[in-house]
Structure 1
Amino acid sequence: MAAGGNPLLSNNPAITGRGQYQDGRAGYAPVPPQNSYGQGRFGQGQFGHGQPGHGQSGYGQPNDLQDLYNRPSATPSQTGRMTFDDVIVKTTMTLGLVVVGAAIGWFVPGLMLVGLIGGLVLGLVNAFKREPAPALILAYAALEGLFLGGISSFLEGIYPGIVVQAVVGTLSVFAVTLLLFRSGKVRATPRAMKFFLIALAGYALFSMVNLGLMVFGVTSGMFGLNSANIPGTSIPWGLVIGLLAIGLAAFSLIVDFTSISEGVRNGVPARYAWSAAFGLTVTLVWLYVEILRLLAILRGDE
């Protein structure tokens, strides 16, 4: 599972629209090239006199110009630029495949390992691709669904009702994060991003060490070091680590929202709605897994 791939998306010039116009203004689309005489590509400005294709435009009559000015402005969808609706539709498709895959994985738990490995590989591939590949993104969503279905079925058999709690918790964190972002109270500022990346790297390192200890049988708990108590207390390490991970996943949503807003504002191509959908899917899967694990640790004494 490719957790935290979103900073890569947020640094993508195509997503953030951090290009410039030829006159220095920030934006996505470049100004049409000029020749050495300061004229357009065909020797004259767009609305010159005469015939097009010979250094002049075909809009020589005043009535033609007036008709052009009276026409309604083209919408983002008509100009091939990304919109919020594009992101919503693409995200709905990816999350729908996650649910379908989860339903299959729930009844066929043996596919969980396939989903885990396949989702990890495709997550990394999609995160580092310069151009979004819809087929690979949808395949990633389906494989992650297999993994989520298998692990959810397993934990539900031990702690009845835990899956519903995890789903409600995930939706609640998503809703609160979105409201905070829309209110302007939380933003992915450069300083906040530095702390986020440092904390994310530390968490990734801890997760790798913990996984290694579990694989080689050094720890006996279901979640490795997360199941052990903090020395001198009855508080499991998993409670502290889990809350940190949920906080990181929540801020990762802020990074996603910021990237999407900048992309729409700067008019990036519509195909990058798939990148935005991929980022949101990665973060929501990560958030659900962390909440599910935290609940399992808290209910470990049942």
Structure 2
Amino acid sequence: MRLSNYKTNNPVFSEYFWEDQNDSNKKMTVSGILIKSIVCIIVIAAITSYIWKLNEEGMSVKWLTIGGMLASVIISVIISVRHHWAPFLVPLYTIAKGVFLGGFSAFAHKNFPELPYQAIGVTIVTLFVMLLLYQTRIIVVTKKLRSVIITSAVSIMVVYIISLILSFFGIKSYIWGTSWFAIVFNCIAAMVASFALLLDFDYIERYKNKAPKYKEWFATWGLLATLIWLYVEILRLMQKLAIRF
């Protein structure tokens, strides 16, 4: 069964990613995705470091963090429905995520100085472990596995959205605390995020040298979204464990 026939409501794994594959002579390549991803990661790291520095100098970055988060969500939604705009929107997404991660990581560093660095290390190790598992076919991305991962990811995002909405009315969700329920939920979210990397690898392998060149920006967006999600879940889990123990 062709991957392009598989339907999902998750914008990162949207069908828009693979439409109109023959509208360009230049095709998507792995090297193109790799270069774009590395450049975006460097930009995110630079902005994160700058926001982090501002926080250490005494400047409040709360609203920058919230603004970066909301901007990245809005940009992601636009990318999912206007995929031809990706070459222009992904750089904006990169900036927004850098601002968000700067504030998010600075807050964690203030309370637990070593955790952000440890979370980065765990994220990198997880990336290469999942890549190894995929390349050696120890884990094969089947239609059933793909469905389970996407359904789990969407479900987790829905829980986060509902919890965020409830927080506006003063209702605190259990997933934000340090209870065992919150820790288990965080563990599941981190596992789903790591398995979502397999979908990114699978998409790239299936459509390399087939999809048009601009689709490299979509692949970069999907990979960045998954990696950042994984990092956030790992850092949140580490914070909860540090507070509890």
Q: TM-score range by the shorter chain?
A: 0.7 to 0.9
User: Relative to 1, partners in 2 of residues 1:254 and 1:298: Cα closer, same or farther, differing over 3 Å?
Assistant: same
Give the TM-score normalised by structure 1. 0.70
1:120-153: CA deviation from partner (whole Å, max 9, x where unpaired):
1111111222324322100101110100010110
- Give the match for residue 178 of structure 1: 131
- Give the match for residue 149 of structure 1: 102
Distance 2:16 2:234 in 1: 25
Task: Kindly indicate whether residue 206 of structure 2 is the aligned counterpart of residue 262 of structure 1.
Answer: yes
Deviation at 1:224, TM superposition (A): 4.6
- Give the match for residue 277 of structure 1: 220
Letter paired with 2:93: Y
Task: Kindly indicate whether residue 43 of structure 2 is the aligned counterpart of residue 97 of structure 1.
Answer: yes
CA contact 1:10–1:255 (8 Å) conserved in 2: no
CA-atom RMSD in angstroms = 2.2
User: Relative to 1, partners in 2 of residues 1:150 and 1:157: Cα closer, same or farther, differing over 3 Å?
Assistant: same
Deviation at 1:184, TM superposition (A): 1.4
Q: Which entry has the higher C-alpha Rg, 1 or 2?
A: 1
Letter paired with 1:185: I
Mapping of residues 1-302 of structure 1, within 5 Å:
5-8=11-14, 12-14=18-20, 80-108=26-54, 109-110=61-62, 111-219=64-172, 224-229=174-179, 236-265=180-209, 267-301=210-244
CA contact 2:16–2:83 (8 Å) conserved in 1: no
Structure 1: unaligned runs, 5 residues or longer: 18-27, 31-78, 230-235
Distance 2:66 2:78 in 1: 18
- Where is the helix percentage greater, Structure 1 or Structure 2? 2
Distance 2:161 2:23 in 1: 42
Give the TM-score normalised by structure 2. 0.85
CA contact 1:9–1:259 (8 Å) conserved in 2: no
Distance 1:243 1:180 in 2: 20
Letter paired with 2:19: P
1:268-301: CA deviation from partner (whole Å, max 9, x where unpaired):
2222111111111111111111001000110113
Letter paired with 1:225: I
Deviation at 1:10, TM superposition (A): 8.0
Structure 2: unaligned runs, 5 residues or longer: 1-9, 55-60
Q: Which has the higher contact order (CA 8 A, sep 6+)?
A: 2
Distance 1:116 1:263 in 2: 30
Letter paired with 2:27: R
User: Relative to 1, partners in 2 of residues 1:11 and 1:241: Cα closer, same or farther, differing over 3 Å?
Assistant: same
1:232-291: CA deviation from partner (whole Å, max 9, x where unpaired):
xxxx222211111111111211111111111115x2222211111111111111111100
Letter paired with 1:242: N
CA contact 1:187–1:258 (8 Å) conserved in 2: no
CA contact 2:90–2:217 (8 Å) conserved in 1: yes
What SS class does the counterpart of residue 243 from structure 2 fall into?
coil
1:188-244: CA deviation from partner (whole Å, max 9, x where unpaired):
32111222232223212221232233332233xxx8534153xxxxxx222211111
User: Relative to 1, partners in 2 of residues 1:255 and 1:277: Cα closer, same or farther, differing over 3 Å?
Assistant: same
Aligned residues: 229
Runs (4+) of structure 1 exceeding 6 A deviation are: none
